[in-house]
């Protein structure tokens, strides 16, 4: 199997980037997309060229490191999967693939396919937690939580912080990411005390990082590897409105 690659190469944050074409040959359909990049990189190394920089770590769809768009689609063609979970059987022999980093003002490109997503960490630091110190907990079963609520909270908490939602959005909005954390903690009894401050702080931090607003296109939901629902955004908007009204 053979693929033609057009890969974004950019030396550093300051420099201009461009697409460079590579031929990938001798592939098999059971290879993962990232394994194909490994093969290309080993060849480039042997030829004395610098390999393509890309982020990856767990290679099983949970760490959220891998972050690239394949033919314009964040994480490639498979629904509910990260880039590392894309296998070459998803492509045709001889196909041309354009591979790019996330494109968003709040995610500046550092090198090649590597973007800086530290804005997400700063949003969590602004309030994406329950303020409980080590040793302050009561017995775990002292807080009964209905199975349905626990499942919904898990659906929200399953976000891997990859940033595909931002990359897919025409406004580079981080609403799905922020709403997932607001919903996870806001659904649970443990998160109630800080519920209103939390949503306000996190939305303020999101705005300060330069992410755009939501205009209800739902592209984020479509590309989310954990298939997090835009219902989370509705819940966040409700919490935010109620928090603001409380202050009047």
Partner 1 sequence: MKLDARIPAGPLAEKWTRFKANVRLVSPANKRKYEVIVVGTGLAGASAAASLAELGYQVKSFCFQDSPRRAHSIAAQGGINAAKNYQNDGDSVRRLFQDTIKGGDFRSREANVHRLAEVSVNIIDQCVAQGVPFAREYGGMLANRSFGGAQVSRTFYARGATGQQLLLGAYQALSRQIGLGKVTMMPRHEMLDLVVEEGQAKGIVTRHLVTGELKTHAADAVLLCTGGYGNAYYLSTYARGSNVTATWRAHRRGALFSNPCFTQIHPTCIPVTGEYQSKLTLMSESLRNDGRCWVPKAKGEQRAAVQIPEGERDYFLERLYPSYGNLAPRDIASRAAKRVCDEGRGVGPTGLGVYLDFSEAIGRLGESTVRERYANLFAMYHEITGESAYESPMRIFPAVHYTMGGLWVDYHLMSNVPGLFVLGEANFSDHGANRLGASALMQGLADGYFVLPYTIGDYLSQQKPRGEKTDGPAFQEAMGATQARTKKLLGVNGRKPVSEFHRKLGKTLWDTCGMSRTKKGLEEGLAILGGLREEFWKDVKVPGSGADLNQSLEKAGRVADFLELGELMCRDALEREESCGCHFREEHQTSEGECARKDAEHSYVSAWEFKGEGKPEVRHTEPLSFEELALATRSYK
Q: Which of residues 58-117 bind partner 1 (CB under 8 A)?
A: 58-65, 78, 80-81, 85, 87, 89, 110-111, 114, 116-117
User: Judged by CB under 8 A, does residue 141 bind partner 1?
Assistant: yes
The answer to whether the Cα torsion of 78, 82, 87, 88 is positive or negative is: positive
User: Judged by CB under 8 A, does residue 3 bind partner 1?
Assistant: no
List 28, 96, 213, 242, residue binding partner 1 (CB under 8 A): 28
User: Judged by CB under 8 A, does residue 222 bind partner 1?
Assistant: no
List 21, 94, 139, 248, residue binding partner 1 (CB under 8 A): 139
The encoded tokens of residue 242 equal: 């109620």
Q: Name the minimum Å distance from CB 244 to partner 1.
A: 22
User: Strand, coil or helix: what is 238?
Assistant: helix
List 2, 11, 96, 208, residue binding partner 1 (CB under 8 A): 11
Q: What is the DSSP string of 177-232?
A: HHHHHHHHHHHSGGGSTTHHHHHHHHHHHHHHTT-B---S--HHHHH-TT---THH
User: Judged by CB under 8 A, does residue 208 bind partner 1?
Assistant: no
Q: Which of 204, 192, 212 lies closest to 126 in space, CA to CA?
A: 204
Q: Which is nearer to partner 1, 11 or 215 (CB)?
A: 11
User: Judged by CB under 8 A, does residue 16 bind partner 1?
Assistant: no
The encoded tokens of residue 208 equal: 């300060």
């Amino acid at each position: 199997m053979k693929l033609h690659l057009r890969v974004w190469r950019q030396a550093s944050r300051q420099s201009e980037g461009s697409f460079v074409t590579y031929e990938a040959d001798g592939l098999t359909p059971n290879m993962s997309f990232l394994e194909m990049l490994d093969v290309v990189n080993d060849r480039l190394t042997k030829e004395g060229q610098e390999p393509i920089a890309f982020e990856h770590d767990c290679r099983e769809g949970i760490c959220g490191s891998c972050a690239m768009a394949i033919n314009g689609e964040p994480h490639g063609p498979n629904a509910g999967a990260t880039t590392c979970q894309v296998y070459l059987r998803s492509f045709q022999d001889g196909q041309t693939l354009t591979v790019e980093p996330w494109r968003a003002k709040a995610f500046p490109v550092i090198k090649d396919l590597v973007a800086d997503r530290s804005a997400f960490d700063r949003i969590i630091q602004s309030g994406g937690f329950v303020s409980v110190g080590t040793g302050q907990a009561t017995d775990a079963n002292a807080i009964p939580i209905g199975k349905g609520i626990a499942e919904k909270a898990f659906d929200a908490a399953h976000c891997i912080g990859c940033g595909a939602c931002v990359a897919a959005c025409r406004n580079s909005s981080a609403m799905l990411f922020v709403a997932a954390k607001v919903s996870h903690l806001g659904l649970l009894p443990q998160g109630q005390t800080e519920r209103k401050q939390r949503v306000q702080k996190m939305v303020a931090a999101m705005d300060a990082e330069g992410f755009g607003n939501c205009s209800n296109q739902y592209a984020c939901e479509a590309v989310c590897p954990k298939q997090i629902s835009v219902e989370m955004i509705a819940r966040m908007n409700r919490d935010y409105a109620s928090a603001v009204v409380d202050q009047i």
